[in-house]
Amino acid sequence: MILSFHPCIRADIQIILGDRLPNKEELRLIRDAKAIILPQGCSEELFYICSGSKACLFPEYRIRFRYPGKVGQIRLFEEFNLPHPCSICWNNLEDLIKNWDSLSHKLPFILKEDKKHEGAGVYIVKDIGDIWRISDRLGTSDPLITQELIECGGNALRVIIMGNKLFSFWKRPSRPRQLITSISTNAMIDYHWMPHLQDRGRKLARQLVLATGINLAAVDMIFQDNSPLLLEINYYFGRRGIGGTERYYQLLYGSIKDWLRSKDIRPDTVELVY
- Cα–Cα dist 101/35, whole Å: 53
Angle at 102 between CA 97 and CA 106, to 5 degrees: 95
Looking at the chain, the whole-number percentage of residues with pLDDT higher than 90 is 79
Query: 52 with 6, same domain?
Result: yes
The helix (run of H) or strand (run of E) holding residue 253 is: helix 245-262
- Tell me how many domains the chain contains: 3
Q: Which of 148, 181, 215 is the endpoint of a domain? A: 148
Query: 112 with 156, same domain?
Result: no
Quick: pLDDT tens for 70-83: 999 999 999 999 99
Mean pLDDT, range 43-68, rounded to an integer = 97
Domain of residue 213 covers: 152-242
Query: 92 with 156, same domain?
Result: no
Query: 132 with 156, same domain?
Result: no
- The mean predicted confidence, pLDDT, of the chain is 93
Query: 143 with 179, same domain?
Result: no
Long-range contacts of 14-22 (CB under 8 A, 24+ apart): 17/46, 21/45, 21/46, 21/49, 22/46, 22/49
Give the side-chain half-sphere CA count within 13 A for 184: 10
pLDDT at 12: 98
pLDDT at 238: 84
Report the CATH number that the domain containing residue 85 is assigned in CATH. Answer: 3.30.1490.20
Query: 162 with 234, same domain?
Result: yes
pLDDT band at 135 (very low <50, low <70, confident <90, very high): confident
Query: 230 with 160, same domain?
Result: yes
Whole-angstrom distance between the N-terminal and C-terminal Cα of the chain?
Answer: 22
Report the CATH number that the domain containing residue 205 is assigned in CATH. Answer: 3.30.470.20
Q: Give start and end residues of each alpha helix (H) in 80-185.
A: 93-98, 128-138
pLDDT at 141 over 80: no
- Cα–Cα dist 148/127, whole Å: 14
Residues belonging to the chain:
274
Query: 215 with 226, same domain?
Result: yes
Closest CA to 62 of 260, 221, 235: 235
Query: 249 with 204, same domain?
Result: no
Quick: pLDDT tens for 150-205: 988 889 999 999 999 999 999 998 777 666 777 666 789 999 999 999 999 999 99
**67-to-40, 111, 176, 207 alpha-carbon distances in Å:** 17, 19, 35, 17
**257-to-11, 13, 85 alpha-carbon distances in Å:** 11, 16, 36
Quick: pLDDT tens for 216-238: 999 999 999 999 999 999 999 88
